[in-house]
Amino acid sequence: MTPKELFDKVEQELGHTSQAIRFIANTTSDIELHRPIPFFALPEFYEACYCSLQHFGICLINGEKNYDDMVWRRITKILKLIQKNLNEEFKTDLPEREIISIVDEMIAAGHLKIVQDDDGQECVALEENPYDIKIRIIRTPLGQAPEEVRNNWIGIELPARFIPGTVPVRGLVTNLLEFKKSGVFQVPYQVAIEQLQRKAPAAAQWFIKNLGEFYPPLIFDSQCAETIQTH
């Protein structure tokens, strides 16, 4: 079976998946449940589909650009069919997402960069300074920290990197997954807390108490900040 035949078969089988999703949605709406349907599980399921299809694509690509582009295009089409089925049957609003390779994801996130080796061939290398812009917080950021804590970010300037498109983000408190559809600013945690400590020690302590002194980069929604400097 060729990859194209495989993709055709998967897309055909998704018709049965749609029927199964419709059955689950209809059944859970018709019976009396002991607790509400955990709709927070839908983004987790959708993200799991994304990751599984991405790894599926990694197994199929061979380094030939036209072929690899076809693989990612067809895999993205499969994800869109899953997204359409989930949104229609569960009345939710999961966003469209394009599946790309993990390397391309890491380049977009600023962890890797494209360079040329000694022979002039393109290759990837670690990005030593992924935070290529400076932002100023101009509105109270969205998030799960108390509003009186988040208000203290206003006016603070921070190194950042903008990640465009739809970005999966986990809540600081609940760890539940949600999707930011307009891109996000990624900010180094320790630098951000140091800046916040200078302005509002109590607010900084909230983050240290709940997240610790070391934590992955903080995420700020794109509407709460303005870019004031690019490198």
Cα–Cα distance for residue pair 45/51, rounded to 1 Å: 10
Residue type, 42: L
Asked if 124 and 113 touch (Cβ cutoff 8 Å), the reply is: yes
Find out whether 137 and 228 touch, Cβ atoms under 8 Å. Answer: no
Q: Which two tokens stand for residue 162?
A: 């903008």
pLDDT, tens only, 68-100: 999 999 999 989 988 988 888 888 899 999 999
pTM of the model: 0.77
pLDDT digits (tens, 9 = 90+) for 151-198: 999 999 999 999 988 999 988 888 889 999 889 999 999 999 999 999
Q: What are 109-156's pLDDT values in tens digits? A: 888 988 988 888 888 898 888 898 999 999 999 999 999 999 999 999
Interval 195-211: pLDDT, tens:
999 999 999 999 999 98
